[in-house]
């Protein structure tokens, strides 16, 4: 368990995402989300009617029609007619016999005859049988093909904060090495399970909790401890990857060699199946309010490739969806913009986003408020030149939690070629509104009630197919939040080794192989590539590094 004196860890719970007690509906409660979910690839089916392709049975109607019998009233024939038909039959049979003999003996066919076409031994031999239809692949074979050809990239993994809580960051000790290398590590992640789950990599979160009262005391002094702990967690993740060089790629860039000439991540994965190792930070409370530009550049040099604009606190740059002041009470839901004159993304926030674009650091808007999301994704004045991601957020229409993405925000995602990576945390996949009037009173939000009955792998798949069906499968991915969701996990998704089961469920629900490839990794690779290209263009255009406030000492 985490040390109670560790200032980085929440005092009330070990899991950073689960910030309040589960409010449960009884397990026996019958919760219905409707009879059909659009998948975009096939007709919507009710859950009970879904079958694995291994189990599908096909029934075909007969190819022929029933023959009608002759009318029994038309049976009279004259004797002469019978005789005449008999004579004609004999003549016909004789003619057929003569022609057959002629053909067998070569006949008197002229040399220039065109029958049969292209007369060759093969064409005069017996007809070729029709080609057999290709063998139907099983779902498991399709899963294997997908995860072998496309790296599965998780948008958010909290292994680092779990290591801090359980092992005090001592990854060199025998206890950690035994658990991590041999399997059976508490929570959701270890090397054997990563291999079993065909994991291609993840954005490994260097998570740090918000300072006390961070939403209202945005001084460097209040944020200093969070910044210090961030460097510790980044260092932990870099040391972990260096300790297991046979498992983690040494590359820091996606699709081009870095300054030391090392191969890129994608090429190394195809060669050795090494895990992708980019680092993310989870909130701009992890930089000093007076020095965000220089700190982001320092983090980038240490391997950080994604930054979430907020965690569960407002900061100097953007507004959060939930605010926790002392981590001992439930968070309250943000119902308005903190600084109406500046907006949900402040002037300094606009500068930070531009610097992230210039660096090639992915902008993550999970945890941010509805208004922050709208500001970032707005088509009126787009403030990010590169696509952005929700690294671990699910569909609000299925689970009305303020951490999830509402439909009107989802509809903005394709316009900037951005991405929603579905979270597996129970609180965010299976819930119902606690107040029947909540939806009517938008945009005023409240925390929903968790429903344990639907806390399943299938429910996670429903979030994926809902988003894919609404905005297209080019804009949905996976952001598990493993090792950050606490002890309770969706049934059937208790660890990284269960990723293939989720892929199989998507195929069973009718999502095509090509679309599943996009979901598991193709889409985040596309976004990352676009971010790199925007960075290269901005540098080529001479966009200078952003400057911090240089006043004071």
**Which carries the bigger pLDDT value, residue 127 or residue 287?**
287
Residue 135: what pLDDT? 78
The per-residue pLDDT for 255 is 64
Distance separating alpha carbons of residues 81 and 219, to the nearest angstrom: 115
Q: Please state, in angstroms and rounded to a whole number, the distance separating the CA atoms of residues 357 and 308.
A: 13
* 451 vs 87, more confident: 451
Instruction: Say if CB 316 and CB 217 are below 8 A apart.
Output: no
pLDDT over 70 (residue 32): no
Share of the chain above pLDDT 70, in %: 72
Residue 242 has pLDDT above 60, yes or no: yes
370-385 average pLDDT score: 94
Pairwise CA distance, residues 13 & 517, whole Å: 36
SS3 letters across 181-196: HHCCCCCCCCHHHHHH
Residue 98 φ then ψ, to 5°: -65, -45
Residue the block writes with tokens 């050795």: 272
Lowest mean per-residue pLDDT among 50-59, 122-131, 178-187, 320-329: 50-59
CA distances from 361 to 57, 355, 533, 544 (A): 49, 8, 11, 15
Least confident stretch, 2-6, 175-179, 281-285: 2-6
Instruction: Work out the mean pLDDT of the chain and round it to a whole number.
Output: 81
Does residue 27 have a pLDDT over 80?
no
**How confident is the model over 6-29, as a mean pLDDT?**
42
Assess whether pLDDT exceeds 90 at residue 165. yes
Whether 108 shows a pLDDT value over 60: the answer reads no
pLDDT on residue 72: 38
Mean pLDDT of 174-202: 97
Quickly list DSSP for 11-68: SS-S-SS--S---EEPTT------S----SSS----GGG---TTT-------SSPPPP
pLDDT value for 8: 47
pLDDT of 524 over the 90 cut? yes
CA-CA-CA-CA torsion sign (314, 23, 389, 200): positive
More confident position, 107 or 481: 481
Which residue stretches of 106-209 are H helix? 121-124, 139-149, 159-167, 174-182, 191-196
The DSSP letter of residue 522 is I
Q: Is 245 helix (H, G, I), strand (E, B) or coil?
A: coil
* Exposed/middle/buried for residue 162 (C-beta within 10 Å: 0-12, 13-18, 19+): buried
Enumerate the domain spans of the chain: 24-43+138-540
Strand order in the sheet with 24-25: 24-25, 449-451, 431-432
pLDDT of residue 263: 57
Indicate the range of 46-55, 343-352, 379-388, 468-477 predicted with least confidence. 46-55
Q: Report the Cα 543 to chain-centroid distance in Å.
A: 33
Q: Is the pTM of this model over 0.85?
A: no
pLDDT score recorded for residue 233: 98
pLDDT computed for residue 126 by the predictor:
60
pLDDT, average across residues 303-317:
98
List the one residue out of 13, 230, 144 whose CA is nearest residue 1: 13
Exposed, middle or buried by CB within 10 Å (0-12, 13-18, 19+), for 552?
exposed
CA 393 – CA 403 distance, rounded (Å): 6
Lowest pLDDT segment from 1-10, 130-139, 415-424, 441-450: 1-10
Q: How far apart are CA 433 and CA 456, in angstroms?
A: 19
3-class state of residue 408 by DSSP: helix
List the structure tokens of 478: 């996976």
The pLDDT score that the predictor gives to residue 435 is: 66
What percent of the chain has a predicted confidence (pLDDT) above 90? 64
pLDDT tens digit string along 244-301? 999 998 777 776 555 444 458 888 888 889 999 999 999 999 999 999 999 999 999 9
Where do the DSSP E strands lie in 187-345?
199-205, 279-282, 304-308, 322-323, 332-333
Instruction: Supply 147's token pair.
Output: 């995860």
Please tell me the distance from the alpha carbon of residue 328 to that of residue 213, in angstroms, as a whole number: 12
- Is the per-residue pLDDT at 58 higher than 60? no
CATH number of 24-43+138-540: 3.20.20.140
pLDDT over 50 (residue 173): yes
With contact defined as beta carbons under 8 Å apart, do 372 and 344 qualify?
yes
């Amino acid at each position: 368990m985490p040390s109670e004196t560790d200032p980085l860890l929440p005092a009330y719970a070990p899991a950073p995402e689960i910030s309040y007690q589960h409010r449960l509906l009884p397990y026996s409660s019958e919760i219905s989300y409707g009879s059909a979910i659009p998948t975009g690839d096939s007709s919507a089916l009710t859950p009970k009617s879904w079958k694995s392709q291994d189990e599908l049975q096909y029934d075909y109607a007969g190819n022929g029609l029933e023959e009608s019998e002759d009318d029994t009233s038309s049976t009279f024939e004259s004797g002469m007619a019978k005789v005449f038909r008999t004579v004609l039959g004999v003549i016909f049979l004789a003619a057929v016999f003569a022609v057959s003999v002629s053909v067998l003996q070569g006949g008197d066919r002229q040399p220039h005859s065109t029958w049969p076409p292209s007369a060759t031994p093969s064409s005069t031999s017996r007809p070729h049988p029709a080609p057999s239809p290709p063998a139907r692949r099983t779902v498991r074979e399709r899963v294997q093909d997908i995860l072998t050809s496309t790296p599965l990239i998780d948008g958010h993994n909290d292994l680092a904060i779990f290591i801090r809580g359980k092992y005090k960051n001592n990854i060199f000790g025998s206890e950690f090495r035994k658990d991590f290398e041999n399997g059976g590590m508490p929570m959701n992640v270890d090397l054997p399970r990563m291999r079993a789950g065909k994991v291609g990599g993840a954005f490994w979160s260097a998570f740090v909790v918000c300072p006390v009262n961070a939403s209202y005391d945005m001084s460097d002094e209040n944020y200093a401890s969070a910044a210090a702990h961030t460097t510790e967690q980044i260092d932990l993740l870099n040391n972990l990857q260096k300790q297991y060089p046979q498992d983690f790629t040494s590359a820091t860039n996606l699709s081009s060699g870095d300054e030391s000439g090392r191969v890129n991540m994608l090429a190394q994965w195809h060669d050795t199946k090494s895990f992708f190792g980019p680092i993310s930070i989870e909130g701009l409370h992890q930089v000093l309010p007076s020095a965000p530009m220089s700190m982001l550049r320092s983090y980038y040099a240490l391997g950080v490739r994604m930054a979430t604009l907020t965690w569960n606190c407002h900061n100097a740059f953007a507004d959060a969806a939930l605010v926790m002041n002392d981590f001992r009470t439930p968070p309250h839901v943000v119902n308005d913009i903190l600084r109406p004159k500046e907006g949900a993304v402040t002037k300094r926030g606009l500068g930070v986003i531009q610097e992230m674009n210039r660096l090639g650091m992915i902008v993550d808007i999970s945890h941010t408020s509805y208004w922050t999301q709208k500001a970032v994704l707005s088509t009126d004045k787009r403030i990010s030149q590169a696509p952005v991601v929700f690294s671990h957020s699910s569909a609000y229409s299925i689970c009305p939690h303020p951490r999830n993405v509402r439909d009107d925000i989802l509809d903005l995602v394709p316009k900037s070629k951005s991405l929603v990576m579905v979270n597996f945390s129970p609180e965010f996949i299976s819930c119902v509104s606690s107040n029947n009037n909540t939806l009517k009173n938008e945009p005023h939000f409240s925390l929903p009630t968790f429903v344990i009955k639907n806390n399943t792998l299938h429910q996670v798949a429903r979030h994926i197919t809902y988003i894919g069906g609404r905005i297209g499968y080019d804009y949905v991915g996976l952001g598990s939040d493993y090792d950050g969701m606490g002890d309770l996990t969706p049934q059937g998704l208790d660890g990284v080794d269960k990723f293939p089961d989720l892929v199989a469920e998507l195929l069973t629900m009718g999502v095509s192989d090509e679309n599943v490839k996009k979901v598991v990794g193709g889409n985040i690779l596309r976004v990352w590539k676009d971010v790199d290209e925007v960075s290269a263009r901005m540098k080529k255009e001479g966009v200078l590094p952003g400057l911090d406030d240089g006043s004071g000492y």
